Amino acid sequence: MTKLSVNINKLATLRNARGGSIPDILQAARDIESFGADGITVHPRPDERHIKYQDAKDLACVVRTEYNIEGNPIPAFTDLVMGIKPTQVTLVPDAEDAITSNAGWDTHTHKDFLKDVISNFQEAGIRTSIFLDPDPRMVEGAKATGTDRIELYTESFAKAYAQGKKEGIDPFIEAAQVAHECELGINAGHDLSLDNVRFFKENIPHLLEVSIGHALICESIYLGLENVVRMYKHRLGS
């Protein structure tokens, strides 16, 4: 079964645009879980422009499924995660001014750094995943870092699929095969949507989890949050 983790950053963006506490991030997480999601994802950034560090702490007392915290392992982020001890931490090499994630790790250049960070999280009982482009060489490098899983960065697939180029899935199939051979768990995320998630899931072997935020929240404006969560679960075959 491929699990659905819902990224609630965009709900926090909406709240922050006006100030106050509407929408209520904690209640949204509770509701999303009750609608059938298998997990909640947040990606706090240093400027706290959407999910705030305090949100991440407060959610730890609310989330009853899997809790995934994404981010660049700068000291403040590392301290946050170690204090919360979520189910999973996903390491993303974001620049501090990045609008959204736009590249995976170079697992060879940053091998020693990643090994140290991953080891510390694992010693605290936190499952680790690292954000990767669909490059078999980088997947092989991920194995050497000691990570538990990888998260395939799916923007290039989504763009190709929207243009009718289904061959855009091919690099992801190859990367997933290499990851499985390396005994790495496989997650995926970024620009997956109701339009493309079924095709992606059906073609990627051993896919454990997808993390979806922007598209899911946008689709919910028209279709309703409960309905959209259930639609994703159906497309994922669970």
Beta strand ranges found along 72-145 (DSSP E): 88-91, 127-132
Catalytic: 190?
yes
Per the residue annotation, which of 33, 50, 66, 70 is the catalytic one? Answer: 70
Q: How far is residue 21's CA from residue 78's CA, in Å, rounded to a whole number?
A: 26
CB 160 within 8 A of CB 123: no
Per the residue annotation, which of 43, 66, 151, 209 is the catalytic one? Answer: 43
Per the residue annotation, which of 50, 66, 151, 190 is the catalytic one? Answer: 190
Give the number of other CB atoms < 10 A from CB of residue 96.
9
Catalytic: 70?
yes
> DSSP secondary-structure letter at 167?
G
Q: How far is residue 100's CA from residue 83's CA, in Å, rounded to a whole number?
A: 25
Among 80, 91, 84, 141, smallest CA distance to 117 is for 91
Catalytic: 43?
yes
> Which residues are marked as active site?
43, 70, 190
